[in-house]
Amino acid sequence: MRDPLSSSKGAEPPLESDGAAEPHTRKRKDSLGSTLLWALLVALAVRTLLFQPFHIPSESMRPTLEAGDYVIASKWPYGYSRYSLPLGPDVFDGRVFAGLPDRGEVIVFRAPHTGGQSFIKRAIGMPGETIEVRGGVLFIDGAEVPRGLVGEDVRLNQRGEMRRYDVYEEILPGGVAYEVLDLGAGDLDDFGPVTVPAGHVFALGDNRDESRDSRVPSPLGPGPIPLENLIGRADLVLLSARPDFSLWRPWTWYRLRPDRFARSLDAEPG
């Protein structure tokens, strides 16, 4: 018995298609488009609600953060504002599920004086507190924040200048300890006293003499940070590379800094 789909004269060639009658091809294209759309929506939700990566371009948070670090910030600890959204569209005011940073946490925020630029500093002063700096020493509500000399750091800065820094351990009220750099006498060594306005936090860079932070008023610096401008809490250095590293230049790959990979920025009391 002959195969009913065959012919003694040979198999009949398939009919040509005009392209409009290819349901399987259309289904594959529709499926791919749907998958890409869902992947985009999931990525957008993760970036908006959960985590966002940031690249550190400057040395203002040394020694905690180095230029070339890639930091992951958690978005939920302080709630959500329009700055939680990509590009920060002006779609609503204030914060949803708002929360204050804990003192000593490393915060990422949209700098009020730059429009679209994000900054990263350490939360030092809470609303209503009085902040003062005398001879490089920090005071909160009139009480000196203890610090002790732990060493020195001599290196070229980003401008190619050789600098010698004293390294201090500073211990905030509550016990959070971290290291700060001090170049000696500088323009920002004496500041205040000022009271942190309601709805704001006061933030400092750990590299005290090379940081534009809440000591510097607009338009040159951010001044106190509106809570609405908070983006998230920096929790982890995911990767790190020297600023002259490039993924597209394999001969620079040795400039990765694996000793800084997966480094926690947890501000728990020491």
Q: Are strands 147-156 and 143-144 parallel, antiparallel or unpaired?
A: unpaired
> Phi, psi (5° rounding) for residue 220?
-90, -20
Q: What is the mean pLDDT of the chain?
A: 84
Residue 136 pLDDT: 95
Residue 213 pLDDT: 96
The fraction of the chain above a pLDDT of 70, given in percent, is 83
Q: Are 222 and 216 in contact (CB under 8 A)?
A: yes
What pairs with residue 143 in β-bridges? Answer: 140
Catalytic residue status for 60:
yes
Helix ranges (H only) for 2-155 are: 23-45
Q: Are 136 and 162 in contact (CB under 8 A)?
A: no
Catalytic residue among 58, 75, 118, 121: 121
Largest CA-CA distance found in the chain, in angstroms, rounded = 104
* Cα separation, 139 vs 143, whole angstroms: 5
Residue 2 has pLDDT above 60, yes or no: no
Instruction: Tally the C-alpha atoms within 13 A of residue 187's C-alpha that lie toward its C-beta.
Output: 6
Name residue 41's amino acid: L
242: left (phi over 0), alpha (psi -120 to 50) or beta: beta
* Cα separation, 100 vs 98, whole angstroms: 7
Residue 194 pLDDT: 97
Residue 19 pLDDT: 37
Nearest to 168 by CA among 152, 156, 195, 150: 150
For 41-77, what is each residue's pLDDT tens digit?
A: 666 666 666 789 999 999 999 999 999 999 999 999 9
What's the chain's Rg over C-alpha atoms? 27
Which of the four pLDDT bands, split at 50, 70 and 90, describes residue 24? low
What pairs with residue 203 in β-bridges? Answer: 123
Residue 138, classed as helix, strand or coil, is: strand
Q: Which residues touch 23 (CB under 8 Å, ≥6 apart)?
A: none
Residue 5, classed as helix, strand or coil, is: coil
The predicted model gives 96-116 an average pLDDT of 88
The structure's pTM equals 0.81
For 215-235, what is each residue's pLDDT tens digit?
A: 999 888 999 999 999 999 999
CATH 2.10.109.10 fits 43-264, yes or no: yes
Catalytic residue status for 121:
yes
Q: Where are the domains of the chain?
A: 43-264
Q: Can you point out the beta strands (E) in 116-186?
A: 118-125, 130-134, 137-140, 143-144, 147-156, 162-171, 177-182
Residue 20 pLDDT: 41
Residue 109 has pLDDT above 70, yes or no: yes
Residue 7 pLDDT: 33
Residue 270 pLDDT: 58
Residue 166 has pLDDT above 80, yes or no: yes
